[in-house]
Chains A and B, each alone.
Chain A
Amino acid sequence: MNRIKNTLSQDKKLLSIYFTAGYPEPEDTVSIIKDLEKNGVDFIEIGLPFSDPLADGPTIQESSGVALKNGMTTKKLFQQLDGIREEVEIPLIIMGYFNPILQFGVEEFCKRCAAVGIDGLIIPDLPVEEYNEKYRVIFEKYGLSNIFLITPQTSEERIRFIDSVSEGFIYMVSTASVTGSTKGFTQETRDYFRRISEMKLRNPQIVGFGISDEETYGQATEFAKGAIIGSAFIKHLNSSGKQDISGFVKRIRPV
């Protein structure tokens, strides 16, 4: 059984962490993944750095810039991940923009993902229609789940369509914003979480964007299956380095 579905079937709320590959140091990718697993994180999103990350706020933009300066490339990421499945069991998802994947070759990219043990992909600027028409066959051939985003403005009809195409989970963007907002959730946002949960979709929902602490994690997972933290973790790496990953995870989800 696919690792993502396995994890989603567990009877608990899930915590996922995003980090940018090659940040803060070029060779940190594998050690950060191992540390996150050791500290109880349920699955991980590995950010493939891009020069022009449209959907990201300043924190992730900056980490991408640093990673690229560090010489991070798609090829290098696959080299780093080679052998990761001998040590890491939790689902690993690559999150990246479409252009670097297109340049690598979509089929070659999927093939390498499958070879190193990647379970799924999140490509924010690959719309569901394009995916369905041109790329779905390739993703499925290599057993990769493609994860789509929905937002508070996504119509019910479109959510149903995305649900029908998705295999794994639906990435529920909390508020209309780029990544890294720390304003907390309004009642309106929490009503949206409830509304989506009441749609009884095929795929569970994982909330992302704007989750930075125990409170927002708790609010996000009140109705959804889990939540993803990105910018807050990058900020933590920036201020404390890799030393206190266990402390960071415990502050979000105390044991």
Chain B
Amino acid sequence: MSYQVDEKGYYGDFGGAYIPEMLYPNVEELRRQYLDIMKEESFQKEFKELLRDYVGRPTPLYYAERFSKKYGTKVYLKREDLCHTGAHKINNTVGQILMAKRLGKNRIIAETGAGQHGVATATVCALMGIECIVYMGEIDIDRQAPNVARMKMLGATVIPAKSGSRTLKDATNEAIRDWINNPVDTHYIIGSVVGPHPYPDMVARFQAVISEEIKVQLKEKENRENPDYVVACVGGGSNAAGAYYHYLDTPEVGIIAVEAAGKGIDSGKSAATSVLGKEGIIHGSKTLLMQSEDGQITEPYSISAGLDYPGVGPMHANLFRSGRGEFISITDEAAMKAGLQLAKLEGIIPAIESSHALAIFEDRKFKEDDIVVVNLSGRGDKDLSTYIDYFQL
């Protein structure tokens, strides 16, 4: 049994393409072509060159000595925080902009929550000279002013999503509506491993460079390709999908997914989808999602804007249901402490999303000779004001 997508676009029970007919031609065009395009030599060449020269890959695999010593195990950090624009998100936007060009699209739309994916999309659109429209919840626009300014500097048009709860899920709805209204010339760059097939698989493949590099780097450092565990935070789950990708079907590598418990699982203010979600349909995919008994999608909460999504990618829903992945929820408080601790122990200020993954070591114990790779998905610059408020810095 494989944990990769099957030919019908499912990961076990999850995935598929639950989309209105208006989206069918676009999604079908992509489904028919994405694998062939990705296999083209010219595509691979261009993708790899941009990842190297523009994004700054490979990102280091760094042995966190003081952190390891504190927790009595061997911890490596995969430094996605050192990517251009500050997070792993750009791996996917570089891939998708090249895909869009080959599909002959001249207009790009994207959704964004905290603004990281919006910035990564605006960046590659500037690089390619392609029109870029980013949908962002009205509430998020107020909360994330610096990223809104970045997108504008990069030439993107930021359109506020004013429907529903006016956050990420509504920005995604608005982007999908835009795609319905512009079915011919537009490509939708989804930022996570969510949405209708083939998006979860395509985004995972673009992010797979993370685990591809881990294999090579770990071989150099430890003379083995496989760590004992790979740990990543999961909102929609794109950095996790990339970090797990080449280990999914290697059972000796433990997969640990860290979700945001917010103010606590039972507090009513949480984003821990695996615990609180039920099977359903969100943004074109069958997956686990937080919803009312009546099937209305509920609004999640996390201090980290990148983790408060009411669903989770279908790959992760399957890792959870099958037991292949170990799922841990981390509260705001534990994550914030872990972020501050990494700054003091290693001189690295992580994004609050990534801080969730770092926080598991307090309770989840590993053996002394275990090799644990934590995907440090982003840097903390964007979260400075949250850190300042939280710790009264």
Could you tell me which A residues sit within 8 Å of B by CB distance? 50-55, 57-58, 61, 65, 68, 73-75, 97-104, 124-127, 130, 148-151, 153-155, 158, 173, 176-178
B21 x A178 contact (CB < 8 A): no
Task: Looking at the assembled complex, report how far the CB atom of A253 sits from the nearest CB atom of chain B, in whole angstroms.
Answer: 27
Extra contacts besides A50-B296, A55-B22, A61-B163 (5): CB < 8 Å: A125-B18, A149-B21, A149-B22, A153-B25, A177-B181
| Set of chain A residues within 8 Å of B281, measured between Cβ atoms | 97-99, 102, 125
Residue of B nearest to A49 (CB): B296
A52 x B164 contact (CB < 8 A): yes
Q: A153-B25, A154-B25 are in contact. Are A99 and B180 (CB under 8 A)?
A: no
How big is chain B's contact interface, by range? Answer: 35 or more
| Set of chain A residues within 8 Å of B25, measured between Cβ atoms | 151, 153-155
B297 x A124 contact (CB < 8 A): no
Residue of B nearest to A73 (CB): B294
A176 x B182 contact (CB < 8 A): yes
Could you tell me which B residues sit within 8 Å of A by CB distance? 16-22, 24-25, 163-164, 169-170, 173, 176-177, 180-184, 278-284, 291, 293-298
A58 x B163 contact (CB < 8 A): yes
A55 x B294 contact (CB < 8 A): no
B21 x A103 contact (CB < 8 A): no
| Set of chain A residues within 8 Å of B298, measured between Cβ atoms | 51
Q: How far apart are the CA atoms of A163 and B164 in the complex, in Å?
A: 35
| Set of chain A residues within 8 Å of B278, measured between Cβ atoms | 103
Report the 10 A-B pairs with minimum CB-CB distance, sorted nearest first.
A103-B295, A100-B295, A149-B21, A51-B296, A124-B20, A55-B20, A73-B294, A153-B25, A99-B281, A176-B183
B21 x A99 contact (CB < 8 A): no
Q: How far apart are the CA atoms of A177 and B181 in the complex, in Å?
A: 4
| Set of chain B residues within 8 Å of A149, measured between Cβ atoms | 20-22
| Set of chain A residues within 8 Å of B291, measured between Cβ atoms | 99, 103
Residue of B nearest to A151 (CB): B22
Q: How far apart are the CA atoms of A52 and B282 in the complex, in Å?
A: 8
Q: A124-B20, A153-B25 are in contact. Are A54 and B164 (CB under 8 A)?
A: no
Q: How far apart are the CA atoms of A53 and B298 in the complex, in Å?
A: 14
Q: A52-B169, A58-B163, A125-B284 are in contact. Are A154 and B296 (CB under 8 A)?
A: no
B296 x A100 contact (CB < 8 A): yes
Task: Looking at the assembled complex, report how far the CB atom of A189 sits from the nearest CB atom of chain B, in whole angstroms.
Answer: 14
A74 x B180 contact (CB < 8 A): no
A54 x B20 contact (CB < 8 A): yes
Q: How far apart are the CA atoms of A54 and B173 in the complex, in Å?
A: 6
B295 x A173 contact (CB < 8 A): no
Considering residues A54, A130, A155, which has the most beta carbons from chain B within 10 angstroms of its beta carbon? A54
Query: Of the candidates A51, A65, A127, A150, which one forms a contact with B17 in the assembled complex, judged by CB atoms under 8 Å apart?
Result: A127
| Set of chain B residues within 8 Å of A148, measured between Cβ atoms | 21
Q: How far apart are the CA atoms of A29 and B382 in the complex, in Å?
A: 48
B180 x A98 contact (CB < 8 A): no
Q: How far apart are the CA atoms of A252 and B283 in the complex, in Å?
A: 35
A126 x B173 contact (CB < 8 A): no
Q: What are 10 residue pairs bridging A and B, where the CB atoms are less than 8 Å apart in the complex?
A: A55-B180, A65-B164, A98-B18, A99-B280, A99-B282, A101-B295, A103-B291, A176-B22, A176-B182, A176-B184
